[in-house]
Structure 1
Amino acid sequence: MIQCVPIFTDHMVLQQGKNTAVFGTGSPGETVTVSISERKLSASAVVQPSGMWQVQLPPATAGETCTLRVNDLVFQDVVFGEVWLAGGQSNMEFMLKNAKGGAEELKQCPEPSV
């Protein structure tokens, strides 16, 4: 039975403009097909003797939501965009709008989703 590692879920954001690795486990010799029909992306692999598999999807541009299919698994509301990792302590929870001058900075921001 084909499974993806737990980082693959509904509502995920995949990095735009880069190859996308999709991976997981399964029965050795089993064929895995990963596809996003809305983007006309598809790739296949065979589960290795170790039980691991990995597929590389070609780069995609940011855009509307799509559905990622891995054999019988379906991940909905998937988007390609910018993926950023931020690290810190409790200050990571502080909202820009509450920072000194933050409200003014947000008004000037050309990106409405910030």
Structure 2
Amino acid sequence: MRECDLTTIMYVSAAKKHATAREACLHTMLDDIAAQQIRQLTIESDASIDAADRRIIAKRLRELNYADLRYQHRGKKEEPLLWASDAIAWCYNRGGTWKQKIEPLLLDVRSC
């Protein structure tokens, strides 16, 4: 991944409930997206939460008055870069030497 010149921003929540953590991280990420005027976002699809994601994203984009973002849910087989984000998150959470290996890829770690 380092040879591919990938970089990432890690969004981390201490919330116990997955839904609460996911919403908080989506909000923080969307704030960053609007501030940087990013126009495209791909999120890994999970049929059990895709609808909730769409509601959260649509509401937050309205609150931010940011209409330029196009986003989509896609499976890992449809978007290979989703594998990279999973691997980076795994290494970060595993800690130790795994975390050290991906630290050059981390632009920032943001609390949600």
TM-score, structure 1 normalization: 0.23
Structure whose alpha-carbon radius of gyration is higher:
1
TM-score, structure 2 normalization: 0.23
Report 1 or 2 for greater relative contact order, CA contacts < 8 Å, sequence distance ≥ 6.
2
Larger proportion of strand: 1
